[in-house]
Structure 1
Amino acid sequence: MLNVTCRSWLASESGGSATRDADCSAVIASKLAPTGSAIVLGFLLFAAALLLSACASQPPLPEQTPNLSLPLQLHIQRLRAEQRQDWVLVIQREGPGIRWSMMDLLGIPQARQKLVDGTWHADGLLPPNPEARELFAALLFALTPRDELHGNYPAAWQHGAQRTLPERWDVRYSQPMSFELNLPKGPKYQVTPLSGEAP
């Protein structure tokens, strides 16, 4: 069995300069632990990476909030891989912002967000829902009046019944408030105004 004392380990590490006894665990821990500046630098790099990934994943928003006829109630069908989900979305003004409340057909809340001064804010205690936030931003794009489109989304274009924000959203209208919304990596949504009947 190999028996290594604290003094002999320190001496081998420091070229024989360790001459006094010390608490072995504290000395070894201090030798092995990273310096404070290395910890801070690592934390800053990690935080910067998180911030960059968060910024890259944020859906685009208009330059100014478009003039929407609110409140709106929409039936949203989410279509992906032969599966369909149905939601009800209520969009309404609330103070200086717009409140987006989505629920399933049983009335169970799925997502709530408020758009205030060009920034999304959580509304209520529901957990974050990045897909719903992307959907809400895409719907804002789709519902933007045509004469406000280029001022709010400079990269967007519309030709006839098709509106596109390149590499982000594609909208195909059958009526002004009825449309199909496609995301590049899915899913696809069918959006229609909500009547008094269940969808």
Structure 2
Amino acid sequence: MAESRPHFVWLLLGLLLLSGCASQPPLPSEQPRLQLPLQLHLQQHSAAGSQDQLLVIQQDQQALRWTLLSPLGTPLARQLLVDGRWQADGLLPPNPEARELFAALLFALTPDDQLERLYAGRDWTRPTGARRLNGAPHWHVRYQHNGRFQLDVGNGLSYGVAPLDDGARRQ
């Protein structure tokens, strides 16, 4: 009986590792060409209410740096997307919800002319004024005007997304 215990532990660890890999949100096959940096206002909607957040997406050498902030500027999540994998950026604890949000936003922000190539093999559709990723997770994007869109990420959670107005750039 004592000999089977180490095998059971290794089997359990292997299953946990596989379940962690299976729960990773879909990412494009390579980094899309985006006009960076992007500064977005996010309004999270759930059964618990609404919450405002700010998101900054920047190019950092070969990586995309994603920084989610409270309205007061407190970092909530920081991740680097490097070679199709998320990496921690800084000392914040891992935040799987933020990684899924970032992956869904990357799907929503990918330009139309890159979508078919970067999300090949994924079950997605592009009805007029919208975009859907079917399966698990299930994302639904409804585009509005002036760069705004609604993003449903499932489990009763959605986001209103709008570019931050940079009045200084217009003058």
TM-score (norm 2): 0.90
Q: Verify the 8 A CA contact 2:47 2:156 in the aligned structure 1.
A: no
Q: Partner residue of 1:159?
A: 127
Q: After alignment, is 105-114 or 172-181 more displaced?
A: 172-181
Q: Verify the 8 A CA contact 1:150 1:157 in the aligned structure 2.
A: no
- Cα–Cα, structure 1 residues 99 and 131, in superposed 2: closer, same or farther, change >3 Å? same
TM-score (norm 1): 0.78
Structure 2 counterpart of 1:172, from 123, 142, 145: 142
Q: Verify the 8 A CA contact 1:149 1:156 in the aligned structure 2.
A: no
| Matched residue SS, 2:36 | coil
Q: Verify the 8 A CA contact 1:92 1:100 in the aligned structure 2.
A: yes
Q: Which has the higher helix share?
A: 1
- Cα–Cα, structure 1 residues 69 and 193, in superposed 2: closer, same or farther, change >3 Å? same
- The reply to whether residue 121 of structure 1 matches residue 87 of structure 2 is yes
Superposed displacement of residue 177, structure 1: 2.3
Q: Partner residue of 2:29?
A: 63
Structure 1 counterpart of 2:74, from 108, 115, 122: 108
Superposed displacement of residue 157, structure 1: 1.6
- The reply to whether residue 184 of structure 1 matches residue 150 of structure 2 is no
The Cα offsets for residues 72-97 of structure 1, whole Å up to 9 and x where unpaired, read as 00001100015011111000000110
Q: Which has the higher strand share?
A: 2
Q: Distance in 2 between matches of 1:71 and 1:175?
A: 20
When the two chains are superposed, the root-mean-square deviation of aligned CA atoms in Å is: 1.4
Q: Which runs of 5+ in 1 are unaligned?
A: 1-33
Q: Distance in 1 between matches of 2:65 and 2:97?
A: 16
Higher relative contact order (CA 8 A, sep 6+): 2
Q: Distance in 1 between matches of 2:163 and 2:20?
A: 32
Equivalent residues in 2 for 1:73-152, closer than 5 Å: 73-81=39-47, 83-152=49-118
| Matched residue SS, 2:52 | strand
Q: Distance in 2 between matches of 1:117 and 1:110?
A: 23
User: 4+ residue stretches of structure 1 with deviation over 4 A?
Assistant: none
Q: Distance in 2 between matches of 1:176 and 1:148?
A: 20
Q: Distance in 1 between matches of 2:22 and 2:159?
A: 23
Using the aligned pairs only, state the percent identity: 50
Q: Partner residue of 2:165?
A: 195
Q: Partner residue of 1:20?
A: none
Q: Verify the 8 A CA contact 2:53 2:70 in the aligned structure 1.
A: yes
| Matched residue SS, 1:159 | coil
